[in-house]
Structures are given as structure tokens and as C-alpha cells.
Copies of this chain bind each other. A is one copy, B any other.
Amino acid sequence: MNRLGDKIALTTFGESHGVAMGGILDGMPAGIHLDMNEVQEMIDRRRTGRSLLTSQRKESDIPEILSGVTKDGVTLGTPIGFIFRNSDARSKDYSDLECLYRPNHADYCYDKKYGIRDARGGGRASARETVNWVMGGALVMQWLKTLGIEIEARVTQIGKSGYEDPFKSVRETPENPVFIVDESIEEKMLSEVESARMACDSIGGRVSCIIRGLPAGLGEPVFGKLQAKLAEAVMSLNAAKGFEYGLGDIAASMRGSESLDLFNPGFQPMPLQTNKNGGILGGISNGMPIYFSVYLKPTPTISRELPMPDSSGKIDIIRVEGRHDPCVALRAPVIVESLAAITIANLLK
């Protein structure tokens, strides 16, 4: 189904080259004063990624809100319907592809599942869908902010370059408000994108996210653990191949004595001295910042000739035109923030 969340549910629709993208955010608390400039800012962060390094498709991406909000921008508690018209869809780029299955794309799977698909622009499987997610996340974030909750994601690896430990500052000094930013590393990451693009290729990456201000006691202890809901949400990204939180995968090679977070006496200034568990124990938040990473594969579409079968299995050699990001990670942080926001909001309501 096309829904994320139960108590605060984002239901979405839209094919990449159809009439419009859109969704319904249901369950938003009443009385929240929306700052639509901030909402638009989040949408714009997704749209542009970083200048020339992202897809050249131009969508204004200004949502039309159809319900659930007063003229003055205050939520009514009723469902918020919204749409984004698709204006710059160049479907002819895809006309050759109507019958072909692109490698590493969902084309073949859609045909197996539905027996029919909208091939233009990837249809429903397009990353364009994520504009709906950011809209939902941006609205929810307006509420979370009133509760003192902040969610911040960054690209922390591209290709073979990146921060070895993107959360180092958080772990060691939990009150530190920002990621450690090393300009030389950032430059290396961008040059990975540029060199992939020059090679008519694409490149993978990692996005890391911190959630601050969450009270202890959120999450369900058995199924529906906080980390399980975060993983489920974040693995909705088409490119996501891996998820980790806290120490993450490295924990598998550690000893118990190395992985403990000891308590602070009186639980002050924070409950724990360190935060190796990433703010979650037993599926429930422990009052420390939550941090997790998602690993993204390279954009599947690359500007090279590739063999592609039609539905009968006959293979043609095709070079896909279209406009594609060489690195999906660049646009992903605001999407990850949005997915995290909706997940967290569902625990709070």
C-alpha cells in the first residue's frame, strides 16, 4: 500500500509523468501554525540537491494545499490534501523504453506484479514520488519543532570518500549540536560525484541522520521497535541497501565490554555517559540523541548502452537518455529527514 504511518498517516499517489503527484496527511494535530516558507524550503532542498550535480529536470514543486488548513495556515486536525502538478515531464525520452526492462530498475517487477505499467519516467517507481514524502515530512516537522525535536541528515559518504564515523561528535559529546564537518572530506565526496558523471557513470553514498530532543520512553518494546520503524521507513528509499543505528554494523565485531553505555549519576546532564546504542534500548528511546545511517546504491540509470529485454525476453542494446542524478545521495538527506519525522510523529501521537 502507499501509506506510511498509522496515527499520522501519509498516503501518496502519482506517476512520474502523470497529471500530478500528491498525498493526504491524516492525523496531523489541530492548531499547528504552519510556516509555509519553511515547508517550501524543505521541498526545495530535495529539488535541487546540489546545483549542477543533480538531475536537470525542472519542476517548480510548489504544493497546492487543498484542505485541512485555515486561510491563516493553521491546521484543523482534518486531513491535509495536497498536489504537485507535473509540468516538465519529457516523456518522449522514454518512448523507446515502453516495452523494455531497464537493468536495476523496477520495470520487470512491476510487470510481474501488475501485468501493466506506466513506463514514462519510471511511473510510480520514480524518485519523483519522494516529493510527496518531503511534503508530508515538512508538515509534520512543523509540529515536531513545537515539541523541541530536531532532525538533521547529511551526506557522510560518497563512493569511497567520507567520514569514517559521521557521529563521532555525538557519541563523545552528546550536547554538541552539529556534525563534525571536515571541508577536505566534503570536497573529496563531491569530486567522486564529478568523476562519476564525467565517466557517464553514477556513484553510491551514505546519508546519516540525528534526531535530537526526543523524550525517553518512545517506541514499542517487541514488534514496532523504534529502530524497526525507522528501518522500515528509510528502506522505502528505492536506492537504500542498508540501515544501521548506533554503533551499527561495527557492533558485530565488538566485545560486550566495549559496547556498553554507562549511566551518569542522577542521569545528569544526560542519562548516559556515551551513546553507542544510538538513543534506543530495547526498542524504546532512552533520552539520548538518536542516530542512524542509510546506505544508498548508485543511480541505476547511466548514460551508456546497455542490454535490455522486452517482455518476451528478446534483448536490445539501448542508451537511455532522460535526466538523472549521478548520485542519489545528494538529494536524499531531506528525504531521510522527512521519513524520520513521520516515523517519530507516529510515536508521539
Contacts and interface: CB of A to CB of B under 8 A. Distances in A.
A284 B77 CA distance: 14
Contacts of A216: 108-109, 112-113
A116 B298 contact: no
A217 interface: yes
Copies of this protein in the complex: 4
Contacts of A258: 298
B113 A217 contact: yes
Interface string A265-298: 1111001000001100111111100000001111
A261 B297 CA distance: 13
Contacts of A241: 244-249, 251-252, 278
Interface stretch (A36-44, A53-61, A177-185, A230-238): A230-238
Contact of A204 (B27, B221, B253): B253
Contacts of A263: 101, 103, 108, 307-309, 313, 315
B201 A125 contact: no
B78 A309 contact: no
A160 interface: yes
Interface in A6-47: 6, 9, 11-15, 18-24, 26-27, 30-31
Interface residues of A, number: 143
A101 B263 CA distance: 9
Given A66-B20, A108-B216, A241-B248, A160 B257 contact: no
Contacts of A218: 113
A246 to B, nearest CB: 6
A104 interface: yes
A211 B229 CA distance: 23
Nearest to A130: B222
Given A103-B262, A202-B255, A298-B254, A116 B11 contact: no
14 contacts: A6-B6, A19-B67, A20-B81, A76-B117, A103-B263, A108-B216, A124-B222, A202-B257, A228-B233, A231-B232, A238-B283, A244-B249, A251-B295, A251-B298
Given A109-B216, A232-B235, 5 more contacts: A104-B256, A104-B277, A231-B235, A242-B245, A265-B309
Interface of A: 1-4, 6, 9, 11-15, 18-24, 26-27, 30-31, 64-68, 70, 74, 76-81, 83, 101, 103-106, 108-110, 112-118, 123-125, 129, 157-160, 196, 199, 201-206, 215-225, 227-229, 231-233, 235-236, 238, 240-249, 251-268, 271, 277-278, 281-287, 295-302, 304, 306-309, 312-315, 329
